[in-house]
Amino acid sequence: MPTLQDADFYRTVTYICEHDEQGAMGIIINRPLDLELADILEQMEIRPNTPEAIHQPVFSGGPVQTERGFVLHTSNKSWDATNQITADISITTSKDILQAIAAGEGPKQSLVALGYAGWGAGQIEQELAENTWLSGPADRHIIFSHPPEQRWRAAAQLLGVDLNLISGQTGHA
């Protein structure tokens, strides 16, 4: 919601990758860092063969384990540590996907993030009940195709919400 002032989540769009009785885990998809994938590949001693790998932005996926990398991607193949989230979106945490991207053999669409957003058991449900978040369907075009600065508004528009018209006052009818 526009009224959320927490610096870690202000105006973020978070793709929830896992949600069960133990909690939830997601990747923020609209906070590019001042890094490109080429920087990560260089640090991991992986040589990129494609220009796409060189200039792909790296995102702040959330405030938890910010040194850990996550690749949210379309599901055309599985790598060593891939978890399928939907029929067409997966998340991978193994080095082999970065090697594949660098070689031009990776997924058609991907978003590389450092860190993740995490919630303990019942925490996200409580925050939703308090109107802290707007919750809606995921759209792979917003995740992978929209410019990062447009994703927050585009996600709200999926719900028919004009963020300019939301009141700073929240409550329950």
3-class secondary structure for 113-150? EEEEEEEECCHHHHHHHCCCCCCCCCCHHHHHCCCHHH
Q: At residue 56, what is the residue type?
A: Q
- Taken in order of first residue, the domains within the chain and their CATH numbers are 14-165 (3.40.1740.10)
Residue 10 pLDDT more than 90? no
Whether residue 40 contacts residue 112, with contact meaning beta carbons closer than 8 Å, is answered with: yes
pLDDT digits (tens, 9 = 90+) for 25-68: 999 999 999 999 999 999 999 998 877 777 899 999 999 999 99
- Alpha-carbon Rg for the chain, nearest whole angstrom, is 17
In the chain, which residue ranges form alpha helices assigned H by DSSP? Answer: 37-43, 51-55, 95-102, 123-129, 140-144, 151-158
